[in-house]
Amino acid sequence: MAIFTGAGVAIVTPMHSDGSVNFDKLGELIEFQIANHTDSIIITGTTGEASTLTEDEHVECIRFAVDKVAKRLPVIAGTGSNCTKTAIYLTKEAQKAGADGALVVTPYYNKATQKGLIQHFSTIARSTDLPIVLYSVQSRTGVNILPETAAALNRECDNIVAVKEASGNISQVADILQMTQGDMDVYSGNDDQIVPILSLGGKGVISVLSNICPQETHDIVAKFMDGDVEGSRDLQLKALPLVHALFCEVNPIPVKTALNLMGMEVGPLRLPMTPMEEANRQRLAQAMRDFGITVK
């Protein structure tokens, strides 16, 4: 059984003006997501600026999200690291906190071989009972999880059950699904490829767009799953200009900017992320207005 089916939000980590985590605001964002039918909360991922959280902050954010959600929907904790030992620690802490799954990104900077990826992910998987979602995003980490590697991990480890596929390569997604014959769930890691991946048998999306459009992103998946492929496709195409604006600078710069433009007051980014360039900010604001979002 899938950890979730639908649109899971890769939720931002709101900050106070001094750069500390704003847990009160994080609670508000979680409630906003649940009220607007998000299907899962993915905490401390790339969009949550996990790479600049301390280990203590990282674990505290996971605990907070699990407690706030209170089993109303699944919580998946980002627990990846380029250090296998650190990833094991974070994954164990996520299990202790009561998370429903762990999202584990490919080791960044190290650029492990495919053999190294198998050893890395299988070692983490053996350390926990949590279902593991592999996260393949070569554009950020420098290494791709090949379909053969994903399939081998799925065969070797019962709790490696899914992959967040952000390679942008639809053929690779098709190969993963063919090689695993339904034993491995696939979530789109790109908001502009939700419908194409669903058409191949994907279970949904782990979404940046959901931060600002949770209902609409949920509906893209729900309509497809209910057989309204045309309605799903129309929503996907309508969202494309906004999706492109949300990625005109590196994530999560635009999405935190968008939330602030909506009056959500999620605060600043942590260095080395910097404020959005004004021209891009104006482009984003216009795309939001065109989509029907009120910009303050």
Residues involved in catalysis: 135, 164
Distance CA 131, CA 91 (A): 10
Can you read off the two tokens belonging to residue 216? 């609409």
Can you read off the two tokens belonging to residue 73? 């929907």
Burial class for 230, CB neighbours closer than 10 Å (0-12, 13-18, 19+): exposed
Q: Could you give the dihedral angle defined by the CA atoms of residues 167, 234, 177 and 165, in that order, rounded to the nearest 10 degrees?
A: 20
Distance CA 137, CA 94 (A): 22
Sign of the dihedral defined by the CA atoms of residues 203, 38, 73, 104, in that order = positive
Q: Is 267 left (phi over 0), alpha (psi -120 to 50) or beta?
A: left
Under a CB-based contact definition with an 8 Å cutoff, are residues 162 and 133 in contact?
yes
Amino acid letter, residue 187: Y
